[in-house]
Structures are given as C-alpha cells and as structure tokens.
Structure 1
Amino acid sequence: MISWLIGGESPSWDYLRDLFQDVENAAVYVNSSNVVEVVKVSDLSPFHSQVTVLIHPMNVKFLRPIFIKLKGYVTFPLARLRDVRELVERRNWRAIEYYHDWEFMGSWILYDCEDCEEAQRAHLSVDFNDEKAKEMHLEIWKSKNQV
C-alpha cells in the first residue's frame, strides 16, 4: 500500500498527515541519512493496542521517528528509567518499558490527548538520549495544557 515511501527521502509532516488521514495509527521511521526505513500502519482501536506502530526503543538509536499518529494519544521514546518513572506519576500518563535480561532498554511514554498534532510533532523533535529530554517533554506538554 505505502511501500513506495521505503528507501526514499523523508517526506514532510504535512505530506504524511495527508497520506495517513484515514488511518487511526501510523508511524514513519528514518535512518541517519534521513531515508525512510520503516512504515507502520494499524487500524486496531486503542482499546486493543495503540502500540502496534511503535518499534522497540533500542531501535530509536538507529531509526528516528519522524511521524507518529496515535488516536487519542501522544507518544515519544525515552532512554532513562528514572525519567520514565517520574513522568508516569502524572495523571493519564503511561509507559511501555522494554527490558532485556533485567536491563532497561528504553521506553515509550504515552499520554491522553485529542487533537495534539503539534505536541506530537514537538515531542518527536527531542533527542531520545538528551540529558534534558524529560524537561523538554514536560515543557511541550505544559504548553499544550497550559499548566
């Protein structure tokens, strides 16, 4: 269906938004050369699984998400467990944590949000490994929610 994206230059956010307008959940990941490597699409309702379009957070070191659309959620990857634990203390925030032999490998943070395209876009601009990632994500959330 959308295989023509793979191997091509990263399309714009607006192009991807239009392309996936009829899909509930979608994600596009690019490599370090800004070439599309993975496209995931799902019409499963969030009741069943909103994570079907998310890749393992360890892969975010190699494949950067440039577009994510989840019905009713905003999501972003996070590399530090202590930051994950602090963020999920907030109401309507949750984490999908990944481990290998008891070692934390990374996480996707999700929070409830409707019509949050700009917030989603801003969260994806934060570097997965940045020391200040938690603070930057909180600022994005606060600007949307005017806390």
Structure 2
Amino acid sequence: MLSWIVGTKFSSWSEMSDIFADYRNAAVYVDSEDIIQMIKVGEFDDFYTQYSVLLSPSYLKRLRVRYLKMMTYAAFPVFDQEIYESMVYLPKVKGRASYGKVGFEGGWIVYPCEGCQEAQRLHLELHLSAEKQLEILMLHLRR
C-alpha cells in the first residue's frame, strides 16, 4: 500500500524510482509546497484511458507532476495551445488535450519511448522552455 507517501514532502527522483520499481506506470503529484497530494499507479500502458496515470490538465492548475514513469511512453504537460498543436502533429507524437468552459486548459504530449526515465526526468524536473522540450522530443523521435 502506497498511502504512507501521501502527505510527505517529495524527496528525489531516484527515491521515487526505487519506491515505484515494481510498477509499470506511476505518477506523483505535489502541491505548491512540494507535498505529495496524489499518486497514481497502473499496469495498463494506454495513456488515454481512465486507468492512465496522467491526470487531466485541469488538475495541474493546483498540482504539479514531479515523478512520472510510463513503461512505453514519455510525457509532459503543455499549457499553451499553439505549442501543444505544433507538437502533437509531429510524427509518432500523440496528445491528450483538455478543454473547459474557457477553451484549451492544457494537454499532455506523449511519445513512444521504452524505459526512458532520464528523458522523462528532464521533461519534468528542469522546467524547460517549449523549445527545449521540443529539442528533447525530437532527439527521441529520431531513434
């Protein structure tokens, strides 16, 4: 049972990797004070189903993903519709967008990447600009 981790301060990517080593897919979401508020784990690799570890981008207004492990994909959130649309039309890239009353709320850019924990960490930890996100994405798409 992983409930003991909720309410604790996020420690490090490597510690989360150890904790979630036995799971195919896992995500850790924190609040503005870096306190873990939600964890999602799953055995299904699909990112677009209700069983996905990816939250709707509307939740990411209050929470931030700090750790993400997807066995067959790498993913990162994008909140600018123009950037989202430019990335989602690249070959092999998929997206999962969320629209609300005011329009585009955000989306996940998802691309195939077997066991790409380092690329995933870079997308989430370094708070990269859209250009850097695209650069990392293009490097992995060329493989």
TM-score normalised to the size of structure 2? 0.88
1:82, distance to aligned residue in structure 2 (A) = 1.0
Rounded Cα–Cα distance in structure 1 between residues aligned with 2:10 and 2:47: 30
Aligned-residue offset at 1:11: 2.3
One-letter amino acid of the structure 2 residue matched with residue 141 of structure 1: L
RMSD: 2.3
Whole-Å Cα distance in 1 between the matches of residues 75 and 22 of structure 2?
19
CA positional deviation for 1:47: 8.4
The amino acid across from 2:118 in the alignment is E
Structure 1 consecutive aligned stretches of length 4 or more whose deviation exceeds 3 Å: 47-51, 142-147
Structure 1 contact 46–71 (Cα < 8 Å) conserved: no
The equivalent of 1:13 in structure 2 is 13
Q: Report the residue type matching 1:85 in the other structure.
A: E
Structure 2: runs of 5 or more not aligned: none
Could you report, residue by residue, the CA deviation over 1:128-147 in whole angstroms, capped at 9, with x for unpaired residues?
Answer: xxxx7321201222455668
Q: Number of matched residues?
A: 143
Do the aligned partners of residues 122 and 48 (structure 1) sit closer, same or farther apart at CA in structure 2, a change above 3 Å counting?
closer
Q: Which residue of 2 aligns with 1:103?
A: 103
**Matching residue of 1:133:** 129
1:22 aligns to what SS in structure 2?
coil
What amino acid maps onto 1:52 in structure 2?
S
1:1-147 correspondence to structure 2 within 5 Å: 1-46=1-46, 49=49, 52-101=52-101, 103-127=103-127, 133-144=129-140
- Sequence identity percentage: 35
Higher mean C-alpha deviation, range 64-73 or range 49-58? 49-58
Structure 1 residues 50 and 117, CA gap change in structure 2 (3 angstroms): farther
